[in-house]
Copies of this chain bind each other. A is one copy, B any other.
Amino acid sequence: MWSKGMSDIKKVVLAYSGGLDTSVIVRWLQDTYNCEVVTFTADIGQGEEVEPARAKAEALGVKEIYIEDLREEFVRDYVFPMFRANTIYEGEYLLGTSIARPLIAKRLIDIANETGADAISHGATGKGNDQVRFELGAYALKPGVKVIAPWREWDLNSREKLLKYCEERNIPVEMKKGKSPYSMDANLLHISYEGINLEDPWAEAEEDMWRWSVSPEAAPDEPTYVELTYKKGDIVAIDGQDMKPHLVLETLNKLAGANGIGRLDIVENRYVGMKSRGCYETPGGTIMLRAHRAIESITLDREVAHLKDSIMPRYAEVIYNGYWWSPEREALQALIDQTQNYVNGTVRLKLYKGNVDVVGRKSEDSLFDEKIATFEEDQGAYDQKDAEGFIKLNALRLRIAAGKGRKL
């Protein structure tokens, strides 16, 4: 069915950052599998130039080099659909890393199909979730593809061995100044930090670790107000100005980051079975979650809102565990998207030193009815006497049970 032998690999597409680790992987793949390597480098908003990856790949003898700007696609087709569900993993985490992986997996497979490659490769380790997300996506989109995960195969499992390997093979090792000692991942939605002192969950993260936001202490003493306009559950304008999805997120990142918003420090449960401690900055996303709930609060039916809340943890798990490319994600998405037809309107927010406060929401599709909700005389819009029957019948099963002597 699916060949399992690795010996026959002729061409492999590698998710290539241009950094040391994936540069070593290029050479290691060439050496170990005696195969051609195609590199794929994408701008998904990680905040680093991608074009320099071209020269590095060329220097390593790579002939097919893909460098792409995927920021718009990333936000439009992955981030926004996820936020329609108010998605949070384990009550806290906004899935910033998880949501970027399916896009990378998809492009790896697209490129494998275009270039006739029979394998893909990535630089994720054997302990994390990302290997799972890359590989589940790859298998789901191209079931016969071979996957090479060097970190699970090679013995270059320390910094020293890696550097020695480079030296022996003349792979240039840039010593970036100010390079973070943390294991990091970044895209338009977030930046993450793991390792070093964070491996002790009792240790507070150091202030100079954070990169995308100022601390609340350092944020301005005056609040910033912002209005977000929604259409079918997605933000289409900021302060009245229409914007493409990725510009929405870039703008919110700046606003939020400047106001000390979006830091998170958690211990999470990985799909591979261990707990890990991570710190995250999700500036724009933190605003988006609050704002989306706010626009839904006036436009969504109660039972639909509760239904969404009840399936959200499952949806978050699906994404966290790497099953974006799965029929269950598609089924859940069908439900979620169907609910967003009337999620239109504007939310007004106050940003101040780490706080995102919803201070107003309005919509032509609002289900908030002042005539009914009012404490004032409602002109008969609501008959208070109906409440008695409502309560009586809802109490009936409880009364029968109590009448039979059952104790609560």
Q: B-contacting residues of A (Cβ < 8 Å)?
A: 1-4, 86, 90-92, 125-127, 131-132, 135-136, 139-144, 147, 149, 151-152, 157-158, 183, 194-195, 199-205, 216-217, 221, 223, 263, 265-269, 272-277, 293-294, 297-298, 301-311, 313-314, 317, 323, 325-328, 330-332, 334-335, 337-339, 342, 348, 350, 352-355, 357-362, 365-375, 377, 379-404, 406, 408
Closest partner residue, chain B, to A221 (CB atom): B217
Inter-chain contacts of A274 with B (CB < 8 A) = 369, 372-373, 382, 396-397, 400
Inter-chain contacts of A294 with B (CB < 8 A) = 266-267
- Whole-angstrom CA separation of A195 from B402 in the bound complex: 25
Inter-chain contacts of A127 with B (CB < 8 A) = 372-373, 382, 384, 387
| CB contact between A366 and one of B2, B201, B391 (< 8 Å): that residue | B201
Are A387 and B310 neighbours in the complex by a CB distance under 8 Å? no
Are A332 and B307 neighbours in the complex by a CB distance under 8 Å? yes
| CB contact between A393 and one of B92, B140, B386 (< 8 Å): that residue | B386
Are A327 and B1 neighbours in the complex by a CB distance under 8 Å? no
Inter-chain contacts of A339 with B (CB < 8 A) = 327, 331
Interchain Cβ contacts under 8 Å between A and B, 23 examples: A4-B383, A86-B91, A91-B293, A158-B377, A202-B348, A204-B348, A217-B223, A273-B394, A274-B372, A274-B400, A275-B302, A275-B367, A276-B373, A303-B323, A309-B313, A311-B311, A325-B398, A354-B355, A365-B404, A385-B389, A386-B393, A387-B393, A389-B392
When all copies of this chain in the complex are counted, the total is 4
Are A338 and B328 neighbours in the complex by a CB distance under 8 Å? no
Shortest beta-carbon distance from A407 to chain B in Å: 9
Inter-chain contacts of A360 with B (CB < 8 A) = 201-204
Are A387 and B131 neighbours in the complex by a CB distance under 8 Å? yes
Inter-chain contacts of A314 with B (CB < 8 A) = 307, 310
Are A408 and B330 neighbours in the complex by a CB distance under 8 Å? yes
Are A307 and B326 neighbours in the complex by a CB distance under 8 Å? no
Given contacts A267-B361, A339-B327, contact A370 B199 (CB under 8 A): yes
- Whole-angstrom CA separation of A360 from B200 in the bound complex: 9
Are A381 and B2 neighbours in the complex by a CB distance under 8 Å? yes
- Whole-angstrom CA separation of A143 from B311 in the bound complex: 29
Are A391 and B136 neighbours in the complex by a CB distance under 8 Å? yes
| CB contact between A352 and one of B92, B204, B217, B309 (< 8 Å): that residue | B217
- Whole-angstrom CA separation of A202 from B370 in the bound complex: 12
- Whole-angstrom CA separation of A268 from B298 in the bound complex: 8
Shortest beta-carbon distance from A259 to chain B in Å: 11
Are B398 and A139 neighbours in the complex by a CB distance under 8 Å? yes
Are B136 and A395 neighbours in the complex by a CB distance under 8 Å? yes
Shortest beta-carbon distance from A71 to chain B in Å: 22
- Whole-angstrom CA separation of A69 from B144 in the bound complex: 48
Are B265 and A144 neighbours in the complex by a CB distance under 8 Å? no
| CB contact between A375 and one of B1, B86, B140, B183 (< 8 Å): that residue | B183
- Whole-angstrom CA separation of A339 from B334 in the bound complex: 9
Are B399 and A2 neighbours in the complex by a CB distance under 8 Å? yes
Shortest beta-carbon distance from A181 to chain B in Å: 10
Closest partner residue, chain B, to A1 (CB atom): B381
